[in-house]
Structure 1
């Protein structure tokens, strides 16, 4: 189908190209009602179904009315998922997955009778901020979007928070400028799980489908908010003591992640870390600080919950502390190396201290995102089994600045998966091969950065 007529105009509205305009949400905030009227359309309202946002707009010339549905995938950044015409039904359909709508777009014609066709100008602008159980998505897709629009949104009435999983903490703790609004203050229930509002409700997300550039850049402003927010999960005294200790340290800081339980780990992990730190001494000498990061406490998660498919959080933290103590004992022969543990601290505290790191060694996965996504210019090495090394020896780096971490080359890794076994998502262990070549690789990786 040619992207002409209403389809072409609507897609161009919600997918601005990379000419410095930012996301379509930012353009909408800057242009206001002119965002639609400047192209011959009027805004009627918005439907909300779970995480799915559906705009209702009208072509002022033809008077046809359209439902513009946006993707539910948080990592996409709210691109258009489908366009549904009152007169023709579905006139455009993306290839993006649609969550529960796996068999296609259902008959949505009944929605046209639930919203009316009045195009009176909305009286207020509100944000829609969605949750996710993975802190990395909340950080990169939701909170980064909020920090981008705050400077251009002085007239916003507040935000409706969709969902209850905000692992980093409440949105208004990071962004006190934004007033939390109840859904009932903005939307009315019109059918089953559909809610409608005539106000301008903007889903705040940045992601891989925001035009040609993802725009996922955690701002210095947000870094400051991470540093200054006070976790409600306790251990604040321990945190402030550690932060003061690291802040006063004049030596290089090396960040090392630790996993206690879980399949995706090196079977000789302790010896690997000892080898890694010993190899770094060729560049750093004896005077450097090692920070151990492990499982972090997150808002909305009970300490009794299972994580990584293994024991509960308390057991994970206990195991990781044993691993850290064992590594420290094995490094006892090296003088001048200071060790600090962040294992079991609240995640926002851990992320605030991560800014001090000069170099890191992390497992592949979200444990690396705490440092690599918020501080994307900090260099590092990640390790994992060879099947997960799909980025030509560079780790996944969806941020628009900095450079991705080096992935420990496969020649240094022996996979420990069962031959012929079904291993979903390459979730199995591995062993690291030591030797002069690995020592030289570690030294060169650090020296390069």
Structure 2
């Protein structure tokens, strides 16, 4: 095993990643505790398999691409909850090994040209959906503020204290990202915004098994983000955070001998400045609210709860619902289980007589927001409540459009911006149907 003090570019990204994987496989004792605590096991239908056999099969899959069916199911059903990481006493990250098992399965099933084709297709689809949905809501000036114009990604004259990395999909619900920037402005924090498909984390290439292209894309983004004076990147997207902190940054550290920066989730960053933030929370927000929780990034939900409780007038209600997954989108690997969880939570929110169900991440906000039409409470993002107390407001145009439930009406409503951005209205409609109205795991009541 090579040491971390090797010279830069001494080995390729894929080789360095392979070395990390082998080191972790060697450290795994196959005790099965990671399987025992995993919330995916029962809904995936593999609860009768021995945990030791499942993790042993994962190791076989990572090394050869082949393994028992229960192990393959476990790898493909991972919701990225992170319970497995907390359960391991050997310093192994089972969530990372499951990602590598999925890569190995993809490699065994398809040759590189097909894997690369799949990665390119997924990347293009993501880029199109993000570009269209953000442009149906924002003019060019606001897009530039979110780092989506060339002038916004040039190096600033003075290095910022932080880089704020949005990821891609939050740009579909841009009011959330804009509120994050407004809050940082109020706190006097200097930052540069980066994100969107031009600053890809590499996950769209890794999922189909194109490790080389994933490493190339992610390394390019890491180099762009290595500008902050503090050596800190504030991240919004949880899947990007996991991709960078569990796959990319440790691999680059093995390649170069040092990690370019540390990455902190936005909620944990706000929590670290809670005393300062509290001084800006002057307005009362008299609401009974419940927090929609996903525990996949350690400390984020705890930080979100603390921030909510710091807002004058907020009463936080515990709905006593299961909390699983990295974010709502991560539960898509078990669609029936996901629908059941969402329906149970909406019913519990109704029974608790709350004023609002509060999302943290963007994916659950996209999936849940239109349910506001059918239930007697609002669906809002946490930053909307923080902003309300600070005197900051951003229009949730995404929710407004999605609640129309009519693609033609949505396109008509966005006609001015379609013209401003020179979008093809028919193609914009296709994106609305697929990426907005189609992003509805639990059907609305009228659609059942």
Structures share fold, TM-score greater than 0.5: no
What TM-score comes out, normalization by structure 1 length?
0.30
Structure showing greater Rg: 1
Q: Which has the higher strand share?
A: 1
